[in-house]
Structure 1
Amino acid sequence: MEFKDYVRIVLSHWVGVVLLAVVGVLAAAGYNATQPKVYQASATGLVSVGNSKNASTSSINDSLARNLVTSYVSIAKSSNVADRVSRFPDFAGSGLPDSSGALAGDISVDQPVDTVLLTINARASSPERAVLLADLWVKALADEVGDIAGTPEPSTLSSEEVKQIKGPHIVTLSQATGGSLVLPRTNLNLLIGLLLGLILGFGYAMIRHQFDRRLRSSEEVEKRFGHPVIGMIASSSQMRAEDGRALTLAVAGPAGASSASTAEGFRKLRTNLAYMDVDDPPRVIVVTSPKQSDGKSTVAANLAAAIAIGGQPVTLIDGDLRRPTVADSLAMVDGAGLTDVLVGRVKAAEVIQDHPDIPGLQVMASGAIPPNPSELLGSKTMQSLIRELSKDAMVIIDAPPLLPVTDAAVLTRSADGAIVVVSYGGTLDTELSAALGNISAVHGRTLGIVFNRMRRTATSGFYGGDYYRYEYKPDAGRRKNKARRPKEQPATKA
């Protein structure tokens, strides 16, 4: 997979990724809250072997001090120094550990390269204790070195007396001050928690992608099923009919940011159908879906309206004889209809209704619900009716879903092909596979697949509602000029 595929997968499951990242940060914050606070203070000692005004003697002393300082690092970590620390008067009641091993474990010694310095780093549960331990440790180390070298212990002498010591000894160069918090490393832990959360989130997204069978990619559909995706319809409030109210057609409704991309999707679908076979474009099209609630009836109505607005007459037939919705959604008379024509009660011209707002769009309702829908839709009378109607106009048939019943598959034998509507992020690959298999089983033709209820950010094919609606605002006092969308050229009649 390419980088953009990983990005798409993460964006598809961004909620889980964000939640796991938040969990990682919260876990790190909880870890920080439960860990004891540790403070560190540092004091520095200088290794000296005595003062001399002679240059050569001073050089020798400096070389000797450099040789001695490395060995003093080991002495500084010894238990003898720890025992000396515990015997200082200031140690009593300080709250520091009584054990020599515990004290030594709180100490680290640094010896900067090419220097005669020793830095004692002491850690404790409070800044004050860390400062005290660092200072006492330097003093104890100086006494231990003096005892080993046979020189006086500096802690028992005044500062002037310390300067007069002849022989190796350690002088306190700087006392510890402050005491900074070193553990827990709150910021680092929070960053690690965030990174681990993001890594877990990425893994979650990849696992979900592997096991998620919902269709979200047109490229994946075309590659797996061998049929083109000929339409991508953006989700819009106008694509849902409220109870008791007629459906507002997206291609003919009021312009708005939420409907512009939806209407453009139907226009692209109309154009794709027109160029599907230039010499013999399909004139009888069945619109169906794998299961209920995929929006096939709404797609059929808007597609028929888009074709009529383009200048080509079209007849929309409600071929769903089990749960008809076309007449109600378009506010048409739901009386006699298709079933009455098929049983010979009336003629087709008597039940076809003109849409009041869209010239060129005619609608045939379903009529009474029969006990044998499949037999009626597969009858020779139905085939004759479709041939007769297709002479003067394109025929769009809203058919039942493919998986529950066989009606739509039966209709495809009398049509030039079928459009299968799937819900973006809702239809499973197994459902589409079974639906396409039902069409192939009766030797029907699948014209293409339409993704319905697409998110606006799911494809770059949508320009957004403001592409054709913008204003040019010149200087104050001039009249506003509004750019209008150029009038669309009518589709070529077959």
Structure 2
Amino acid sequence: MELRDYIRILRKGWILIVAVTLVGVAAGALSSILATPKYVSSTQLFVSVQSSDASNASDLVQGSSAAQQKVRSYASVVTSTSVLTPVIDELGLNMTPGELAGQVSAETPANTVLIDITVQDTDAQRAAAIADAVGSSFADVVANDLESPAGGGPSLVKIATIEPAIAATSPSSPRPIVNIALGFIVGLALGVGAAVLRSTLDTRIHGSHDVELVTDAPILGGISYDPGAKKQPLIVHADPRSPRAESFRSLRTNLQFVNLESTSRCFVMTSSLPGEGKTTTTSNLAIALAETGATVAVIDGDLRLPRLANTMGLEGAVGLTDVLIGRADLQDVLQPWGRGTLYVLPAGRIPPNPSELLGSKAMVALIESLTSSFDYVLIDAPPLLPVTDAAILSKLTGGAIVVAAAGRTTRAELQSAMRTLEHIGGRVLGVVMTMLPTKGPDAYGYGNYGAYYGMDQDKIDGPDEMPAVPSKIKAKAQPR
């Protein structure tokens, strides 16, 4: 992935990142609140070794060297049972030597004869008392037990306290600022990791970048998600000044630049799977094309689950199937819609052999007749993955326009749909993305264009006067 892909992931998953980061901060703060405060006190001991009663320079050097050697092993003696048991008895502590050893630590700075004893306890005064008591007990054990001369007499090793323990005024732990900062860093890292992982595992199409990973076909347009689309599907007619209606006009404009080398302006509208907004897109695109004064015929080529007539508010009992089997004439079943330059051919009765009908010579003749009579012909075809009807129709027309729903269609499904068209020899003219978010990194070309949409609609849609309808159907066509 490139840097822009990570930026997009961060923009898209910022809510998750913030949420996980806040959880990390809360965990750090909670651990500080719930943790028992602990205090640290330290004492420092000085170890000296006298080799004899003489005090010449050579003896002093030898004594210092011997003291440094002994100090290295004394650090382990500090936490031994023989040192800690007298401390427990002296202070009346309710713990075992092993438990007390967990609170005591000793270290010797390099090249010195010093021993630092550190004690950690939940009570500041007790921590200081234990540190002093451990230092005294350690000195007694070394002088009387470990370094006692065999023939009696005073020990040659002397241990003196040079820094007595002092009760701490503030706890050493917990450290709220450190814990909160650590929680923030860990939470932020986990949040970013979760966002990247979610984006990697999510194979659904969310924006144009996902489509570009699957196909080289151009993206002809993007339609925003509208929760009220089922109640008001024909947004170009119902609310022509809305941003969503304008997105269909942008699609109309881009459609004029595809398939330039062909004279056929007949397009198949299809998708990978049902429920991607294919019929709604076809209907609104047809209305947007008719707004420019072009004559448009839209055919419901979904002979398995027809919806075009219901979407456009027309009677669909008689239609395409009746024309293909010769039961009705084309002029009798074409239904005008709107100002009279848009005509709809419903699916009619559902046949038992949809694929055979759509690939028949009668369908070829019908497409040729409509293409010669209309500026644009749109065929609302079934999805590509369940059936091959759309792929068959794409060979008879100028090409297929594939509708892909953001957040529903996966990259694998779109890729399979494209392969289906390629294997049959159909041509993909472009992809139309539907159900796109209006905000965020996956939004497609939306902005605050309120002033633009408030312009005189005549300047946007063109003149009110529409050209005459094709002569072949003029006698039958009457505006609704």
Whether 2:74 is the aligned partner of 1:93: answer no
Distance 1:68 1:281 in 2: 103
Kindly state the Cα deviation for residue 301 of structure 1 after the two structures are TM-superposed: 0.6
Q: Match of 1:163?
A: none
Q: Match of 1:3?
A: 3
Which deviations, in whole Å up to 9, do the C-alpha atoms of 1:78-120 show, x marking residues without a partner? Answer: 349975665369843233x442x65455333578999999764
Whether 2:97 is the aligned partner of 1:108: answer no
Kindly state the Cα deviation for residue 122 of structure 1 after the two structures are TM-superposed: 0.7
Q: 2:235 aligns with which of 229, 250, 256?
A: 250
Whether 2:205 is the aligned partner of 1:215: answer yes
User: 1:336-485 maps to which residues of 2 (within 5 A)?
Assistant: 336-356=318-338, 360-390=341-371, 391-456=373-438, 457-459=440-442, 461-464=444-447, 466-469=448-451
Amino acid at match of 2:103: D
Kindly state the Cα deviation for residue 68 of structure 1 after the two structures are TM-superposed: 8.2
Distance 1:365 1:410 in 2: 19
The answer to whether the 8 A contact 1:310-1:490 is kept is: yes
SS of the residue corresponding to residue 197 of structure 1 reads helix
Amino acid at match of 1:325: R
The answer to whether the 8 A contact 1:21-1:201 is kept is: no
Whether 2:168 is the aligned partner of 1:177: answer yes
Which deviations, in whole Å up to 9, do the C-alpha atoms of 1:261-316 show, x marking residues without a partner? Answer: x3333222211111124565651111111222222111111111111123322111
Distance 2:170 2:73 in 1: 24
Distance 2:362 2:269 in 1: 20
Q: 1:78 to 1:393 in 2, by over 3 A?
A: same
The answer to whether the 8 A contact 1:354-1:360 is kept is: yes
The answer to whether the 8 A contact 2:78-2:106 is kept is: no
Amino acid at match of 2:168: T
Distance 1:8 1:348 in 2: 51
Which deviations, in whole Å up to 9, do the C-alpha atoms of 1:197-241 show, x marking residues without a partner? Answer: 3475267336515xx3x3345345345433222222221124x32
Kindly state the Cα deviation for residue 137 of structure 1 after the two structures are TM-superposed: 3.5
The percent identity for this pair of structures is 33
Q: 1:264 to 1:340 in 2, by over 3 A?
A: same
Distance 1:85 1:195 in 2: 45
Q: Match of 1:295?
A: 277
The answer to whether the 8 A contact 1:273-1:281 is kept is: no
Distance 2:249 2:456 in 1: 17
Instruction: Give structure 2 stretches of 5+ with no counterpart.
Output: 49-62, 148-157, 468-480
Whether 2:222 is the aligned partner of 1:232: answer yes
Distance 1:470 1:443 in 2: 42
Q: Match of 2:55?
A: none
Q: Match of 1:201?
A: 194
Q: Match of 2:471?
A: none
SS of the residue corresponding to residue 435 of structure 2 reads strand
Q: Match of 1:478?
A: none
How high is the TM-score relative to the length of structure 2?
Answer: 0.72
Distance 1:393 1:336 in 2: 24
Q: 1:450 to 1:74 in 2, by over 3 A?
A: same
SS of the residue corresponding to residue 355 of structure 2 reads helix
SS of the residue corresponding to residue 409 of structure 2 reads coil
Kindly state the Cα deviation for residue 396 of structure 1 after the two structures are TM-superposed: 0.8
How high is the TM-score relative to the length of structure 1?
Answer: 0.70
The answer to whether the 8 A contact 2:84-2:101 is kept is: no
The answer to whether the 8 A contact 2:207-2:444 is kept is: no
Whether 2:105 is the aligned partner of 1:123: answer no
Q: 1:93 to 1:338 in 2, by over 3 A?
A: same
Distance 1:347 1:241 in 2: 32
The answer to whether the 8 A contact 1:337-1:352 is kept is: yes
SS of the residue corresponding to residue 123 of structure 1 reads strand
Q: 1:487 to 1:360 in 2, by over 3 A?
A: same
Which deviations, in whole Å up to 9, do the C-alpha atoms of 1:343-402 show, x marking residues without a partner? Answer: 33433233222224x553222222222233223322333222222222333111111122
Distance 1:205 1:349 in 2: 54
Q: 1:438 to 1:488 in 2, by over 3 A?
A: same
Q: 1:181 to 1:399 in 2, by over 3 A?
A: same
Q: 1:183 to 1:379 in 2, by over 3 A?
A: same
User: 1:267-346 maps to which residues of 2 (within 5 A)?
Assistant: 267-278=249-260, 280=262, 282-346=264-328
Distance 1:204 1:369 in 2: 46
The answer to whether the 8 A contact 1:142-1:170 is kept is: no
Which deviations, in whole Å up to 9, do the C-alpha atoms of 1:392-436 show, x marking residues without a partner? Answer: 331111111222223222222321111111222322344334433
Instruction: Give structure 1 stretches of 5+ with no counterpart.
Output: 50-63, 151-166, 472-481
Higher relative contact order (CA 8 A, sep 6+): 2
Amino acid at match of 2:397: A
User: 1:61-76 maps to which residues of 2 (within 5 A)?
Assistant: none
The answer to whether the 8 A contact 1:122-1:134 is kept is: yes
The answer to whether the 8 A contact 1:251-1:263 is kept is: yes
The answer to whether the 8 A contact 1:32-1:189 is kept is: no
The answer to whether the 8 A contact 1:39-1:130 is kept is: no
The answer to whether the 8 A contact 1:94-1:129 is kept is: no
Q: 1:139 to 1:264 in 2, by over 3 A?
A: farther
SS of the residue corresponding to residue 370 of structure 1 reads coil
